[in-house]
Amino acid sequence: MSSQESGREKEIIELDEARLQGQAEIWRYMFSFADSMALKSAVELRIADIIHSHGVAITLSQIASCINGCLTSPDITTLARIMRLLVRRKIFTVHHPLDGGDPLYDLTHSSRWLLHDSEQTLAPMVLMENHPWLIAPWHCFSQCVKEGGIAFKKAHGREIWDLTSGNPEFNKLFNDGLASTSKVVTSAILSGYKQGLSSIESLVDVGGGIGGLISEIVKAYPHIKGVNFDLPHVVLAAPAYNEISHVGGDMFHVIPNANAVIMKWVLHDWGDEDCIKILKNCRKAIPRENGKVIIVEVVVKAEGSGVFDDMGFIFDLLMIAHSSGGKERTEVEWKKILEEGGFSRYKIIDIPALPSIIEAYPDDQ
């Protein structure tokens, strides 16, 4: 065989391998929802909690015996098949004893994030995001491309806030999901932004809900005078915290004065024009000499290879599914709205969580 023929045969083999790999990837993406559903079932069955409560690796029979709410004996065969996938996805681990005994299942660094009673858990978010009502808008993406409009409204005939307000059970599921992620991100802010917080004398949390973030910041930095700012009906439900003032209002009108403003996962809910309005009000609320705005948001990185970078693209689609015009932004997109909002200087600070901190300074500083 000539070198030309050999080279041609190699090209054909490589092309066949690429086509096969391409087919395999489409199969994988086609059924990627299976990972979510297996994960959801593990959370619903509290499998991580059951293993954790034993303190050691346990068998499927032991797991099954601790599952609550069964009308009959749990189907161990079905459980085994679900666990087989979750082990392959490294959510759990399995050990096969040398003596031929039953396989023993244990937690991994991933499944520890599924513990319901842990201070740092994503279990409520798993249940929330995989609820049928929140899955439905994802089926409307192509319709949104063709017609425009809001995916959630196309799926349900109303926006997400209308659905939560009329369904107490779903509202609790929704609030629990958001609260769990808030705790995770708050912990990351406190550990990854110490220098940025230590120099602040007063801080207003815009869109602070019932005060979870600002209360934790002030607890860690008692010298900070904290203001929790949200809509009047929201702050009415906020508990009392030491050194925290709850202020009701509208961020599109005026924001309370402070040395610094913090906004966690607020701006991604809004389009550029609305974000610029909010930023201009932040600019008015802080001193020009040493004021700053602390924005806790995802920064989408087109070529990013960091541990959370892939999620930036997914969260951007999540905004299509669940928001009314929000989006995740690249650094270029953040720079544009910051400049138009009066903040031409900024720096991006990585913290150990999905979002980053964008620390922005007024133009005349």
Residues 6+ apart with CB under 8 A from 19: none
Cα distance between residue 115 and residue 106, in whole Å: 13
Q: What is the DSSP string of 116-167?
A: TTSSS--HHHHHHHTSHHHHGGGGGHHHHHHH-S-HHHHHHSS-HHHHHHT-
- Comparing CA positions, the residue from 65, 79, 111 lying closest to residue 92 is 111
Distance from chain centroid for Cα 306: 16
Per-state percent for the chain, helix, strand, coil, to nearest 5: 50, 15, 35
- State the first-to-last Cα distance of the chain, in angstroms, to the nearest integer: 73
Q: For residues 218 and 189, is the Cβ–Cβ distance under 8 A?
A: no
Cα distance between residue 173 and residue 24, in whole Å: 36
Placement of tokens 């079932």 in the chain = 41
Q: Is 253 noted as a catalytic residue in this protein?
A: no
**Which residue among 52, 246, 268, 322 is the active-site one?**
268
**Enzyme catalytic residues:** 268
